A and B are shown apart, each in its own frame.
Chain A
Amino acid sequence: MQDFGQAFSLAFQLIVSADPMLSEIIFLSLRVSLSAVIIASVIGLGIGATVGIVRFPGRSAIIVFLNALMGLPPVVVGLLVYMSLSHAGPFGWLHLLYTPTAMIVAQTVLVTPIIASLSRQVIEDLYIEYREQFLSLGVPPKMAVAALLWDARYSLLTVALAGFGRAIAEVGAVIIVGGNIKHVTRVMTTAIALETSKGDLALALALGLILILIALSVNATVSLLRLNASNSAYA
């Protein structure tokens, strides 16, 4: 096994030289996770806004259910999506198994409850503040929802970030439905798992460092946005 010093040195070389294999894996990871987060945000914000604002029978049960789904084990999601997309499954005819699309589907299933649950809390808190004023002004429902989403945008951005963090760092689901196929479905987390098992720590470390760098960059950007918004009392 290479020693750690050598592994780090090789990792930096790979990053600095923009190794094609490394770049391909990073871009696929970003493509899959960003797509999943965008789709999950559309679905999750819709669910979050509805459950946050509308009072209906069974609402509390749905909130508990959504909160419980936040802790979905990725391997279970992977298994369920695998079964759905396999030839014998209901969506087998789509032939999506072992494609990036299958990975997007799996990550969307994982991330949607997180975005729905956290956005429900954010929107509900804001709605409690605005409710009487909206009622007094006679704000129509569509306009009320749009106003809540807009005014909560910085908090919701943090929610989306939490979803992105979950998606980009997840390995269990994508390895089951994607298969970790070289040049096709190999993403950062599955590559790290594979290269570590093969003893190629340099590539694994390089990917790990980039994964951390991405997480830090996204967090820093959102923190700056929020800070700026807080200073202007927009957050």
Chain B
Amino acid sequence: MPSDVETLQPERISTDPAQSLFPLKVRQLVYNVGKQRLIDGIDLTIEKDRRTIIMGPNGAGKSLLLRLLHGLLTPTEGEICWGETPRVDQARQRQALVFQRPVLLRRSVGANLCFALKLRRYTRAEREERLRHILELASLSHLADRPARVLSQGEQQRVAVARALVLEPEVLLLDEPTVSLDPVSVEAIEELILAVHRRGTKIILVTHDMAQARRLADEVVFLEQGRVVEHSLSRQFFQQPSAATAHIYGSSRVVL
């Protein structure tokens, strides 16, 4: 059985930034837990420029798909190809994932961001410059010395997004990052997402929030029972969804 720490060895994984991560191609992806098939033969192609929103009812496999794409889980069958990058763990070095519940170290906000910065071989001066920049971008400068885990949930999630961004990922994956946050916090996180997308970062976001999907989506992938039932541009999805569940979901008759 492989050790967990054996998989945590980025320095041993050679990544070539010249290799494009797109298009992302998912072929016949299956993920089973015991005898239960949670992801059931997903085929998907995702291009770089659009903001991709993954939607679907509870238990549809949205978060699971995100973890599979990021290489945190190994598929039972099928393959995930991030462009020309041969392995998912190689692609993961150029991505960042923001979890639904932020996992912050028992340190200050600044120390949490510095922890991520130390993963890259920046000089001390570079680290300080990047830290200052990202704190400003995420409007966290005034909280830099506060313990991260005493902040409000919205502030904690902003720290988590900021930590993801200090690594300057080419792809930012977000798993329901604004669930149970107040509107001000939601707006702050969405502004951050839009800002990094404008700078060329690919966004793949899982959400239940229809209004948020309307605000952020360029395209929507709709999942149901581990299958993709609709993959279309946002305009088409919100006006004329082809799948019945997506239609019900889109017209908000299903409240989740």
Contact = CB atoms under 8 A, between A and B. Distances in A.
Given A129-B103, A147-B115, A151-B107, A140 B9 contact: yes
Interface in B66-80: 67, 70, 72
A132 interface: yes
A147 B111 CA distance: 11
B72 A132 contact: yes
B10 A140 contact: yes
Contacts of A139: 8, 10, 119
Interface stretch (A34-42, A107-115, A203-211, A227-235): A227-235
A137 B116 contact: yes
Contact of B8 (A55, A135, A234, A235): A135
Interface string A35-54: 00000000000000000011
Interface string B46-79: 0000000000000000000001001010000000
B96 interface: yes
A133 interface: yes
A131 B5 CA distance: 9
B236 interface: no
B106 interface: yes
29 contacts: A53-B3, A53-B5, A54-B3, A54-B5, A55-B1, A56-B1, A57-B1, A130-B105, A132-B67, A132-B99, A133-B99, A133-B103, A134-B8, A135-B72, A137-B96, A137-B116, A138-B8, A138-B119, A139-B8, A139-B10, A140-B8, A140-B9, A140-B10, A140-B119, A147-B115, A151-B107, A233-B147, A234-B107, A235-B106
The bracket for how many chain A residues form the interface is 20 to 34
Contacts of A234: 106-107, 147, 149
Nearest to A233: B149
B4 interface: yes
Given A132-B72, A147-B115, A233-B106, A137 B5 contact: no
A140 B11 contact: yes
A143 interface: yes
A232 B163 CA distance: 20
Contacts of B1: 55-57
A136 B8 CA distance: 9
Given A56-B1, A137-B119, A138-B93, A132 B147 contact: no
Nearest to A141: B5
Contact of A232 (B10, B67, B116, B150): B150
The bracket for how many chain B residues form the interface is 20 to 34
Contacts of A136: 70, 72, 92, 96-97
A141 B6 CA distance: 8
A20 to B, nearest CB: 46
Contacts of B115: 147
B92 A55 contact: no
Most buried by B among A54, A55, A136: A136
A138 B10 contact: yes
Nearest to B11: A140
A54 B4 contact: yes
Nearest to B151: A233
A40 to B, nearest CB: 24
B37 interface: no
A151 B5 contact: no
A145 to B, nearest CB: 8
A162 B119 CA distance: 35
A194 interface: no
A122 to B, nearest CB: 12
